[in-house]
Chains A and B, each alone.
Chain A
Amino acid sequence: MHGIDYVLEAISFYHISIALAGVAAGTVIGALPGLTATMAIAVLVPLTFSMKPASALILMGAIYTGAIYGGAYSAILLKTPGTPSAIATTFDGYPMAKRGDGDLAVTLACTSSVLGGLIGAGFLLGLAPPLAKIALAFGPVEYFWLAIFGLSLISALSEGHMVKGLIGGCFGMLLTTIGVAEVSADIRYTFGSQTLIGGIEPVSALIGLYCIPVLIDLVATPARHLKVSSESRGFRLREALALSWRHKFNLIRSSVIGTIVGILPGAGGSIAGLVAYSEARRSSRRTDYFGTGEPEGVMASESANNATVGGGFIPTLVLGIPGTPPDAVILGALLVQGIRTGPNLFVGDESSIVYVFIAGLFVATLLMLPTGLLIGRYAYRFIINVPKAVLVPTVAFMTIIGTYAIRNNMSDVVIMILLGAIGWILDRYGFKPSPIVLGLILSRIAEQGFVQGWTIGKARGNVVAEFFARPISLGIIAFICVSMFYPIIARRWKLKEEPQNARET
């Protein structure tokens, strides 16, 4: 089989049908907070046993890419990232929805996700074997610094309330330490409680901290959930495409960041979105508008997180190392099929599987445009039109189901609701949920990297060199410095220039 044959097989009626079904199902699942791509794929694995390996991969890849995009709906319309990948989407997506531009935000999320997905799949097609080396170049210390880079975003997210942001971040970090420590197996801060041994599950914490305060406010205030514009404006696709063209460099940069972070097995979609957001914010001329409903922010986060899909498949297929959690499940399904991953998969007799799959991933990503726009439109209409008396119980019910589904554990639901109440009170005193969530998710990665880096450094006889003398680490440290001190430098420059007031939508 050669080039065109792979494409022809990928666009067979059967493959188009499963790609379409997968993308649609994935989008809906991803939109429901708590239901993740990992779970959706795990449930479907037995179905793939009777399929050809390439078809099984196309189905799982389609669900995966749809679910990552679907997470944007709840992030934009409910301020609740359905998966950690969509955290950065809430920063500007929800303010956009709040002021009546939710339809534009959803459409932008769709176009950006499609572009990010295509770029990620492009790297998978063209450069997988050499790029897989990146996964090996990152050691514990690099993950530590990468997590610190993500944490440095707290300074940007809490402008004006830097101290409160830092306190929030520390609170999140403390929450992570509860339960059995992942690498040292110590049981920490459970105070003898059996409920706390499992620790605080990050996705249920996300749901609690973001969604519950939104629900409480909905009940406590008479205002509508989102501002509604009187005239019907369709998909606003033309507007979205114009914005995309204007910010094409942002989209491409974010997609490349997403692909690279996707290749890193220890990082994940949350870091991809956050790093891309941080870079978009820094290099934009409208830095000050980020966080208040800047379309560029949504574009950066959504293109980056969908690029992690293609990126994550690179180490999965080349090295047998799952790039992301859903990849681990997909790898298991491949093992049962008797497929051996490795560089030979791209050149040997079985290479047709990989190339048909990649062609199928392109098809699925393209299909996401019509399906995503349609589902997005219904989701938006539902959220803005349904009366509060229906919206609040529906969403509350979903948060409980979603939280329970993550680990089939009722105590996660209790913790989620408690954290929600705490988050609502903290919010009233100016402690925003985002720094807490960043602390909660990133300190887990930082702690592992730190402990491992420290042990290795001690064995090698030089801890300082381990942390500060590795080239990739130095590069990340440089980025951290830029991201932390750039606002100060930029402000100095700006004082000389004329202040910009124009607001673009």
Chain B
Amino acid sequence: MKTFGKIVLTAAAAVVAVTFGLTATAVAEFPEKAINYVIAFKPGGESDITGRFQQPFFKKKFGQDLVMSYKDGGGGAVAWAQLNTISGDGYTIMGTNLPHIVIQPAQKAVGYTTGDITNVYMFHYTPDAIVVKDDSPFKTVKDLIDYAKKNPGKVTFSGSGKGTANHLAQVTFDRLAGIKTAYVAFAGTAPSTTAVLGGQVVASWGYTTVPPSYPGTRMLAVAMEKRHPKFRDVPTFKELGFDLVSGAYRGIAVPKSTPEAIRKKLAKMIDEINHDPAFIKQMEDNGFAMLNAPYGPELDKFMAKIKKDIITSAKEAGIIK
């Protein structure tokens, strides 16, 4: 019986060793096949385009394809509500957006809570900005505020959607500047910018990504801590005395069942892309602002702060109760 016990023990040890060994190599060799990158919106939107920027860098650095697929619906809610039903092997990742994943569950039952979303990295944001036509009579934010004070309620701002970064910025700025303006929601940045270019609205609450993509537009101010490297001559709202730093943040999430080691590995991979000088240049040339919040304490700290900020301004805006 002694030998039998030995055999059992050895076998058990071998099984344990193999299992652990495999897990370790599995993580080390991850990814061994293409990764499915689910976008919670339609193809061709800004979330899709930023994924496209990452795609070639991912292939070059890690030898595997990043395959985009689209699960559009309910302003992203449909995809996020299904995130945790996907198998957590690391081969399916999903794009997440702020303030969406904070505001949606706070407004109504949308099938997920902010806590259900396991973010592994927040990699950039598109800062809010006031956008006007090149030939607009408004040269500075002060011009616009003066005009708005003389004509209360008459200044129209287009913006992408309601309860979005653009909308929150409009409400917050109205309060900070002591003005009253009208917000006209459009179904995305493209139609919202078209309305400015066509003179349907006075100005737009858009993003720093607008001027590089839409010729004929310029910005009056950007909602960043420091000036955007691509637009050195555009002031921040902070410089002008308005405490407004906001925008739409993007990151990557995985299903809850994804092992800790894979989460960290994914975060490390995205971090590597995010620090590639060629990638940074491409992003900044297109008006994006970089952000590095990898999985772990850094991301937790970032999320806690941003969640508080979003909830506060959404409550002030009357978007959530």
Contact = CB atoms under 8 A, between A and B. Distances in A.
Contacts of B183: 455
Given A319-B215, A336-B56, A456 B184 contact: yes
Contacts of A140: 184, 195, 200
16 contacts: A38-B44, A42-B68, A45-B52, A180-B75, A183-B186, A187-B110, A192-B109, A197-B77, A199-B74, A265-B190, A320-B215, A325-B43, A329-B44, A332-B48, A342-B216, A456-B200
Contacts of A197: 73-74, 77-78, 81, 110-111
B44 A331 contact: yes
B54 to A, nearest CB: 10
Given A184-B185, A192-B109, A319-B215, A328 B45 contact: yes
Contacts of B38: 408
A46 B69 CA distance: 12
A135 interface: yes
Given A187-B74, A452-B186, A455-B184, 12 more contacts: A136-B194, A197-B110, A199-B73, A266-B191, A320-B214, A328-B42, A329-B48, A332-B48, A409-B78, A448-B186, A451-B185, A456-B182
A321 B193 contact: yes
Interface of B: 38, 42-45, 48-49, 52-53, 55-56, 59, 65, 67-75, 77-78, 81, 107-111, 153-156, 161-164, 182-187, 190-191, 193-195, 197-201, 212-216, 282, 286
User: In terms of DSSP, what is the predominant structure of the interface of chain A?
Assistant: helix
Interface string A100-117: 000000000000000000
B153 A459 contact: yes
A42 B70 contact: yes
B203 to A, nearest CB: 12
A335 interface: yes
A49 interface: yes
User: In terms of DSSP, what is the predominant structure of the interface of chain B?
Assistant: mixed
Interface string A136-179: 11111000000000000000000000000000000000000001
A408 B81 CA distance: 13
A185 interface: yes
A78 B155 CA distance: 51
B162 A184 contact: yes
A407 B187 contact: no
A183 B190 contact: no
Contacts of A266: 191
A89 B45 CA distance: 29
Contacts of A308: none
Contact of A183 (B56, B162, B213): B162
Given A140-B200, A184-B185, A456-B156, A265 B214 contact: no
Interface core residue of A39, A137, A326, A329 (most chain B CB under 10 Å): A329
B216 to A, nearest CB: 8
Interface core residue of B67, B71, B73, B212 (most chain A CB under 10 Å): B73
A458 interface: yes
B49 A335 contact: yes
Pairs A-B, 9 closest by C-beta atoms: A328-B44, A198-B73, A342-B215, A136-B198, A459-B182, A139-B200, A42-B43, A198-B78, A197-B74
Interface string A302-339: 00000000000000000111100111110111011010
B48 A455 contact: no
Nearest to B68: A42
A452 B49 contact: no
B42 to A, nearest CB: 7
Contacts of A336: 49, 52-53, 55-56
B52 A321 contact: no
Contacts of B182: 455-456, 458-459
Nearest to A452: B184
Contact of B194 (A39, A265, A344): A265
A30 B153 CA distance: 47
A187 B81 CA distance: 15
Interface string A41-62: 1100110010000000000000
A319 B69 contact: no
A322 B55 CA distance: 22
B95 to A, nearest CB: 14
Contacts of B107: 185, 187
Contacts of B109: 192, 194
Contacts of B214: 319-321
Contacts of B68: 42, 45
Interface core residue of A41, A333, A336 (most chain B CB under 10 Å): A336
B215 A321 contact: no
A341 B198 contact: no
A49 B55 contact: yes
A319 B190 CA distance: 10
A343 interface: yes
Contacts of A183: 161-162, 185-187
A320 B200 CA distance: 18
A57 to B, nearest CB: 15
B213 A461 contact: no
Interface in A280-295: none
Contacts of A38: 42-44
Contact of A461 (B67, B69, B70, B154): B154
B49 A332 contact: yes
